[in-house]
Amino acid sequence: MKLYGLSGTKISCAFISACITTPYNTTRFLKDLIAGITVGIIAIPLAMALAIASGVAPQHGLYTAIIAGFVIALTGGSRFSVSGPTAAFVVILYPVSTQFGLSGLLIATLLSGVFLILMGVIRLGRLIEYIPLPVVLGFTSGIAITIATMQIKDFFGLTLEHMPESYINKVIELVKTFPTINIADTLVGFVTLIVLIVWPKFRVKISGHLPALIAGILTMLLFNQFGYHIETIGSRFTYTLADNTVGHGIPPVLPEFILPWEHATFTWDWSTLTALMPISLTMAMLCAIESLLCAVVLDEMTHTKHHSNSELIGQGLGNLIAPFFGGISATAAIARSAANVKAGATSPIAAVLHSIIVLLALICFAPLLSFIPLSAMAALLLIVAWNMSAVQRVIYIIKCAPKDDIIIMLICMSLTVLFDMVIAITLGIVLASILFMRRIARMTRLVELNQSNEKTLVLRINGPLFFAAAEKTFLELYQKINGYQHIVLQWDAVPILDAGGLNALIHFIDELPPQVDLSICELQFQPLKTLARARVVPIADKLMFYSTLDEALKDKI
């Protein structure tokens, strides 16, 4: 599939380039099959856990991995990305599902898909490169803290009827209800957590998610023998089939085509739509950021190159189609995608097979999945949150980075936890941009050259002449011109002249004393183009331009 952006450049999906343009054979299929099975086993518990954390029934996480994972694999721009529910979305989706219900969440997902497709069509895929690392680390660490906090209730089996929206109130309520701790739930969670932590040390190729859940279930069965009640997926969630049969846990049926607004009573009005629009845009932004970051990580691991705009379109199609089958927001998952590469995947077929494995598990093992303890699911998400927090990278930034970067990262982290991810990213980018401009402005300086004499002042400008640096530079220059008749400026180290720099230059020329003239030499292309467009031309006995410094000095002798 080839689409065209507004500039006319081809946008190619990875499936075409990996499986059709490049010959696909049985050997590659077997490698993709092994990778698909491996990632599918990892995705099944995570999809359910993330759906529960987002405030919906666990089967909606499975539907997301099946439908969105399948569609994005076939239409996206990264060969090795595996898409589905991810932890980053939990902090956005939980308030939406609480306020608007399942239908509102599915509609917001659909709208985010539209936004993502538009982003890909107008070729915004490369903008991810302009988000600074401290901002990314700040909001991902903040999301990790929020997710970990939300798991405390189920991990310890606390009795808490309603979780407040604000983070501070969440912590207060959790502290208040901590005396209601359930020892059996807690021990099941700890056993699952310990297996997840210890398992990688055995260097077994099988992921630790399945063994950890098995250990948690066995621990739960042991406590059940002594009369302890441990909450499971089956005890918390119920479903109703088409024939009005009511069951517990996960319905063992295929995802059904249902209009998103028909899942529950949902009122379509202008106020609801205007409330969902900014949320949908936030979801689209987060999906774009996470999926493209994942693609960059996979490129480094595999020495390949993804198609960023095609990836956005693929993610958009996945989020557009999945809500019609009960799927919630999806994006590329870094951990699952990395496991896909390590398991030997060669093409998007591995991600397609991962979706088929999840589908088979839904049909064949739904009753067994209902026995999974919620405290074990919480343990899975605690590990996800820990990995997402990138603690080592955060510590490295704190130890080694400039103070400005540390401040930006901590501000983004705090705002993500206390307020909103969009506020955190927006303010973080604005602060990073301002501090970056301040650093660049400080790099622009005047250097006096040894060709100066009693009548001629020869200076070299090092650095860009943009609005944050130009005023200071020309003010400093004005203070140096007393007693000189000729001012020669070498511009070979001036890569940029913007409108602010142009205005400062013109103002400096206008303020020159009548007996003083200015010569500018060795202009680079961009400043020369800017001066030409502004119709800045030589002025007799006032302003001259020269190709080289020697030519400029020759006229002053």
Report the pLDDT averaged over residues 209-229. 92
Residue 223's SS3 state is helix
- pLDDT per residue over 273-332, tens digit each? 888 999 999 899 889 988 998 898 898 888 888 899 999 999 999 999 999 999 999 999
Is residue 518 over pLDDT 80? yes
pLDDT at 23: 84
Spatial distance between the Cα atoms of 93 and 147, rounded to a whole number of angstroms: 12
Report the pLDDT averaged over residues 190-202. 93
Spatial distance between the Cα atoms of 426 and 407, rounded to a whole number of angstroms: 15
Q: Which residues pair with 456 in a beta bridge?
A: 486
pLDDT at 420: 74
DSSP symbol at 131:
S
| Angle (deg, nearest 10), helices 133-156 and 90-121 | 140
What are the CA-CA distances from residue 532 to residues 482, 502, 524, 543 (Å)? 29, 11, 12, 14
Reported pTM: 0.81
Is residue 11 over pLDDT 60? no
Q: How many CB atoms lie within 10 A of CB 9?
A: 10
When mean pLDDT is compared across 38-42, 224-228, 418-422, the lowest value belongs to 418-422
- Confidence label for 12 from pLDDT (cuts 50, 70 and 90): low
| Per-domain boundaries in the chain | 13-390, 444-555
- pLDDT per residue over 72-100, tens digit each? 999 999 999 999 999 889 888 998 998 88
Is residue 264 over pLDDT 80? no
Question: Edge to edge, what strands does the sheet with 517-521 contain?
Answer: 445-448, 456-462, 486-493, 517-521, 543-546
Report the pLDDT averaged over residues 394-415. 91
Q: Tell the residue number behind the tokens 């598990």, with chain if given.
A: 361
pLDDT at 410: 93
DSSP symbol at 490:
E
Q: Which phi and psi (to 5°) does residue 492 adopt?
A: -65, -20
Question: May I ask the CATH architecture of the domain 444-555?
Answer: 2-Layer Sandwich (3.30)
Report the pLDDT averaged over residues 343-351. 93
Amino acid identity of residue 178, one-letter, is F
Amino acid identity of residue 155, one-letter, is F
- Confidence label for 205 from pLDDT (cuts 50, 70 and 90): confident
- pLDDT per residue over 148-167, tens digit each? 999 999 999 998 877 887 88
Report the pLDDT averaged over residues 212-239. 92
pLDDT at 7: 46
pLDDT at 87: 87
- pLDDT per residue over 430-465, tens digit each? 888 888 888 889 999 999 998 888 899 999 999 999
Spatial distance between the Cα atoms of 216 and 49, rounded to a whole number of angstroms: 14
- pLDDT per residue over 14-31, tens digit each? 888 887 777 889 999 999
- Mean pLDDT estimate for the chain: 90
Is residue 4 over pLDDT 50? no
pLDDT at 8: 46
Report the pLDDT averaged over residues 44-59. 93
pLDDT at 399: 92
In contact, 419 and 451? CB cutoff 8 Å: no
* 410, HSE (Cβ side, Cα atoms, 13 Å): 10
pLDDT at 357: 96
User: In this predicted model, which residue has the larger pLDDT, 541 or 375?
Assistant: 375
pLDDT at 9: 46
Q: Which phi and psi (to 5°) does residue 545 adopt?
A: -125, 140
Is residue 59 over pLDDT 80? yes
Nearest to 47 by CA among 63, 35, 34: 63
- Confidence label for 510 from pLDDT (cuts 50, 70 and 90): very high
Is residue 404 over pLDDT 60? yes
When mean pLDDT is compared across 15-24, 209-218, 519-528, the lowest value belongs to 15-24
Q: Which residues contact 113 (CB under 8 A, 6 or more apart)?
A: 284, 315, 316, 317, 318, 319, 320, 321, 322, 323
Pairing state between β 517-521 and 486-493: parallel
